[in-house]
Chain A
């Protein structure tokens, strides 16, 4: 159960090897979170994430195979996890790919894959876990969206569009869950300095996986539905969304 101060006791991560997810696990495990289930592509990165979770103090740490695009298996995946581990307090949706816009722009198959993973695949997985969360009558679905979905930039509109889809889907799903005891929290980080963005120039208002983890923990406590990291981006994007097109196109990056 999530306690009065927002500390969960069990966590399922979709995209268990994600760097942001690891920071979140590292923050939650020492507090109360004794059960951590890391779902993702099996491999050394997922096992390393499991080791980190154990080192952070989680007692029950398991890795489970999960493929966002394998939608046919999502219901079986969710049932398997919930039947085996019991109540899940927080499901963190952290899977996602960045793609390479400059290449993907000319490769429709690759572009469709980015969208299929980040949006279609996760939407399917979220519906599967939501069904179980609804039945258990409590829980949080924490979705890692991005400010890139708030207004697509020409430099990464494929990724941005996939996040925009995921973001809108999560908002609607959250509204549909009112009264069910299950809540959705959308996290919209700016540029996160880390593995996924290695070699890229940080955009203004860039942030770190640890800062995202802090914001997530705080958001769970306060029951917020949308979290920007850093929080100033809420106001920055309130303006950005309404900039005239000619100005938006001149934005750096």
Chain B
């Protein structure tokens, strides 16, 4: 294990608590530390192990791990640099969490443009995974709302926007940190009057019912998501609770809140309870999960409209339970999330059928309809259906089951989400993301020696730099633009780095 004088050794996993690896964790107390860490990563004896940034560790798999190398803890980049209250443009350090943004800015009338199912993600992580939320069908994914960012790469720091260098900007959106370390970003926030949502809730009797409801009605809502009971079979297969809503205006709220506008805009999330220990694996089994799903379904109103709910409960119900990932026990868990085009709704059914036939306990699966994707070659969302399933590790056929689901998804041109992945094969991944070579070419431009490395990158062959000859770069919309302005070049890194041994015609990780 390589040790630098900057860091300390730590064993890291993702949110799923699988596949731990050890890295030298460097706290990025200042953006200069990122430069310094990159210089060390390029030098002996650490050559070949590289570095990666880590935020709040909410990627389920190995995206923010770098075995034997450097992991830059970017949560230290937590400064709020600039706020334009008039237009809702904010510039913040990449380590600022969405929770912090909500706490600070919701009371001032600005909400994050996109939030996933947890607030505990950093802005840098949100860009690196190009996260999506319940409003994807209306507002697209996170990076569509990023107007600029600073990206520190082995060949220098870049001031990036989708206009100045679209190739690098969009390769970074969803690039899982493998194109550089994001140190700050500017976001376009969205205006809100209150911290409440007006929510319509309805039960759907089966998968067709919920899909019909979403196709016909989603356009009327900014936010929409369905929780599917993955244990119902037969005529009730895919029965769900559909929750849709929009931000509440002050006049939509009950009188007591209208009279107290401060309260109507308050945002003080609390962790209600924290899972103190890791229980034995198997606590979440078909019985307990089945009982929970039944309760969840029955608890939901059959049909309820315009009910005010606070943002925290609507967007982030699980954030109320600290360390809930421990509930899956020592072996951990994983999430399988895929997307298929609108016309392949049948694939969603086949996946759910396959799960129910095996009596696999998946806690509340989440179904969502995406709008069009953005230009990122590794960005996950695309127009269609996305289904996310939490599954405990330990079931003996899980490996072959998920490989089989990959085939179903690939067969109709779908793909899986890297921020959730911890087990896809390199071959299947490459088939799911046909623009991978385009992405590699951009990465090669800013990181020719492959310093940016992660366990996910190693597993999927993303940091074995093949097919990255400059001629491989497809002419993109920005190919005629001048080269991006270099802010500063952090040292003679390329001279210091050593080439990675080549073997069988390709670089081996």
Cβ of A180 within 8 Å of any chain B Cβ, yes or no, is yes
- Chain A residues lying within 8 Å of B508, measured Cβ to Cβ, are 35, 60, 85-86
Contact between B68 and A223, CB atoms less than 8 A apart: no
> Closest residue of chain B to A35, judged by CB?
B508
Cβ of A153 within 8 Å of any chain B Cβ, yes or no, is no
CB distance from A159 to the nearest CB of B (A): 33
**Do A2 and B19 contact each other (CB < 8 Å), given the known contacts A7-B399, A138-B455, A222-B394?**
yes
User: Interface 1/0s, chain B 419-450, versus A by CB < 8 A?
Assistant: 00011010000000000000000000000000
**Do A4 and B1 contact each other (CB < 8 Å), given the known contacts A9-B459, A222-B331?**
no
**Do A3 and B423 contact each other (CB < 8 Å), given the known contacts A179-B9, A179-B11?**
yes
- Chain B residues lying within 8 Å of A101, measured Cβ to Cβ, are none
User: Interface 1/0s, chain A 97-125, versus B by CB < 8 A?
Assistant: 00000000000000000000000000000
- Range for the number of chain B residues in contact with chain A: 35 or more
- Chain B residues lying within 8 Å of A5, measured Cβ to Cβ, are 18, 334, 393, 398-399, 402, 423
CA distance A118 to B394 in the complex (A): 33
> Closest residue of chain A to B507, judged by CB?
A86
- Per DSSP, are chain B's interface residues mostly helix, strand or loop, or mixed? loop
> Closest residue of chain B to A34, judged by CB?
B426
- Per DSSP, are chain A's interface residues mostly helix, strand or loop, or mixed? loop
CB distance from B3 to the nearest CB of A (A): 10
Within 8 A of B (CB), among A207-252: 218, 221-223
Contact between B68 and A135, CB atoms less than 8 A apart: yes
Cβ of B264 within 8 Å of any chain A Cβ, yes or no, is no
Cβ of A31 within 8 Å of any chain B Cβ, yes or no, is yes
Cβ of B501 within 8 Å of any chain A Cβ, yes or no, is yes
- Chain A residues lying within 8 Å of B504, measured Cβ to Cβ, are 60
CA distance A114 to B323 in the complex (A): 50
Contact between A4 and B11, CB atoms less than 8 A apart: no
> Closest residue of chain A to B457, judged by CB?
A1
Q: Kindly identify which residue among A9, A135, A180, A221 contacts B393, using a CB–CB cutoff of 8 Å.
A: A221
Contact between B459 and A3, CB atoms less than 8 A apart: yes
**Stretch in B20-28, B95-103, B105-113, B469-477 touching the partner:** B20-28
Contact between B425 and A181, CB atoms less than 8 A apart: no
Contact between B22 and A181, CB atoms less than 8 A apart: yes
Within 8 A of A (CB), among B378-400: 393-394, 396, 398-399
Q: Kindly identify which residue among A31, A35, A83, A222 contacts B399, using a CB–CB cutoff of 8 Å.
A: A31
Q: Kindly identify which residue among B18, B21, B398, B501 contacts A181, using a CB–CB cutoff of 8 Å.
A: B21
Within 8 A of B (CB), among A53-88: 60, 83-87
- Chain A residues lying within 8 Å of B11, measured Cβ to Cβ, are 179-181
CA distance A4 to B459 in the complex (A): 11
Cβ of A32 within 8 Å of any chain B Cβ, yes or no, is yes
User: Interface 1/0s, chain B 495-509, versus A by CB < 8 A?
Assistant: 000000101100011
Contact between A3 and B396, CB atoms less than 8 A apart: no
Cβ of A134 within 8 Å of any chain B Cβ, yes or no, is yes
CA distance A1 to B429 in the complex (A): 15
Q: Kindly identify which residue among A4, A138, A179, A180 contacts B61, using a CB–CB cutoff of 8 Å.
A: A4
Cβ of B2 within 8 Å of any chain A Cβ, yes or no, is yes
Within 8 A of B (CB), among A1-47: 1-5, 7, 9, 31-32, 35
> Closest residue of chain B to A85, judged by CB?
B508
Contact between A138 and B18, CB atoms less than 8 A apart: no
- Chain A residues lying within 8 Å of B455, measured Cβ to Cβ, are 1, 138
> Closest residue of chain B to A177, judged by CB?
B22
- Chain A residues lying within 8 Å of B19, measured Cβ to Cβ, are 1-4, 138
Contact between A1 and B396, CB atoms less than 8 A apart: no
Contacts beyond the supplied A86-B509, A135-B2, A179-B11: 9 A-B pairs with Cβ under 8 Å: A4-B19, A5-B334, A5-B399, A134-B1, A136-B68, A138-B455, A180-B9, A181-B22, A182-B22
Can you spell out 15 A-B residue pairs with CB atoms less than 8 angstroms apart? A1-B62, A1-B67, A3-B422, A4-B332, A4-B423, A5-B334, A5-B423, A7-B399, A60-B504, A86-B508, A137-B66, A137-B69, A138-B22, A179-B9, A181-B23
Chain A residues within 8 Å of B, Cβ to Cβ:
1-5, 7, 9, 31-32, 35, 60, 83-87, 134-138, 179-182, 218, 221-223
Top 10 nearest A-B pairs by Cβ distance?
A: A137-B68, A181-B22, A137-B67, A4-B422, A4-B18, A138-B67, A138-B21, A1-B459, A86-B508, A137-B22
